[in-house]
A and B are shown apart, each in its own frame.
Chain A
Amino acid sequence: MKVSYFPGCTLKTKAKELDIYARRSAEALGVTLEEIENWQCCGGVFTTSNDEIATKLSSIRALKAAGDKGQPLVSVCSACHNVLKQTNAQFNNDADFAFRVNNYVKPDEYNGETKVIHYLELLRDVVGFDKIKEKVVNPLTGKKIAAYYGCLLLRPGKVMAMDDVENPTIMEDFIRAIGGEPVIYAYRNECCGGYITMESKELAAAKSKKVSENAKEKGAELIVTACPLCKYNLDKHAEDIPVVYITELLAEALGVKE
Chain B
Amino acid sequence: MENKQNVCNEIIRRSGVNPRKCMKCGKCSGTCPAYDEMEYHPHQFVYMVETGDIEPLLKSKSIYRCLSCFACIDRCPRGVEPAKIVEAVRLEVVRQQGNNHLKPNDLPEMLDVDLPQQAIVSAFRKYTK
Query: Which chain A residues lie closer than 8 Å to B122 at the CB level?
Result: 43-45, 79, 194-195, 198, 229
B14 touches A51 (CB 8 A): yes
Tell me if B118 is interfacial: C-beta within 8 Å of chain A. yes
Smallest beta-carbon distance B33→chain A, Å: 4
B14 touches A156 (CB 8 A): no
For A32-53 the 0/1 string (1 means CB < 8 A from B) is 0000000001011111111110
B73 touches A199 (CB 8 A): no
Query: Which chain A residues lie closer than 8 Å to B67 at the CB level?
Result: 151, 191, 193-196, 207
Tell me if A106 is interfacial: C-beta within 8 Å of chain B. no
For A90-105 the 0/1 string (1 means CB < 8 A from B) is 0000000000000000
Assuming A43-B125, A194-B122, is B37 touching A14 (CB within 8 A)? Answer: no
Residues 111-129 of B at the A interface (beta carbon under 8 Å): 114-123, 125-127
Assuming A49-B91, A198-B102, A198-B123, is B71 touching A151 (CB within 8 A)? Answer: yes
B68 touches A45 (CB 8 A): yes
Kindly report which residue of chain B lies nearest to residue A90, judged by CB atoms: B16
| Total chain B interface residues with beta-carbon distance under 8 A | 37
Kindly report which residue of chain A lies nearest to residue B73, judged by CB atoms: A156
Residues 55-82 of B at the A interface (beta carbon under 8 Å): 64-65, 67-71, 73-74, 81
Residues 206-258 of A at the B interface (beta carbon under 8 Å): 206-207, 227-229, 231-232, 235-236
Assuming A51-B14, A199-B123, is B118 touching A77 (CB within 8 A)? Answer: yes
Assuming A10-B118, A44-B125, A229-B116, is B70 touching A156 (CB within 8 A)? Answer: yes
A228 touches B71 (CB 8 A): no
B114 touches A155 (CB 8 A): no
Question: Whole-angstrom distance between the alpha carbons of A52 and B129 in the complex?
Answer: 11
Contact of B125 among A15, A55, A151, A166 (CB under 8 A): A55
Contact of B87 among A10, A48, A165 (CB under 8 A): A48
Question: Whole-angstrom distance between the alpha carbons of A43 and B121 in the complex?
Answer: 6
Residues 185-199 of A at the B interface (beta carbon under 8 Å): 190-191, 193-199
Contact of A48 among B84, B110, B117 (CB under 8 A): B84
A199 touches B127 (CB 8 A): yes
Question: Whole-angstrom distance between the alpha carbons of A117 and B74 in the complex?
Answer: 20
Kindly report which residue of chain B lies nearest to residue A86, judged by CB atoms: B70
Tell me if A123 is interfacial: C-beta within 8 Å of chain B. no
Beyond A43-B125, A229-B118, 10 additional pairs, beta carbon < 8 A: A13-B117, A14-B114, A47-B125, A49-B84, A55-B125, A194-B69, A194-B119, A195-B68, A195-B119, A236-B114
A-B residue pairs, 8 tightest by C-beta: A44-B122, A195-B122, A155-B70, A191-B69, A198-B123, A151-B69, A228-B116, A44-B121
Between A and B, 22 residue pairs with Cβ closer than 8 Å are A9-B117, A10-B117, A10-B118, A43-B122, A44-B121, A46-B68, A48-B84, A48-B87, A79-B118, A155-B70, A156-B70, A157-B74, A165-B74, A195-B119, A195-B123, A196-B65, A198-B102, A198-B110, A200-B65, A229-B116, A232-B114, A232-B115
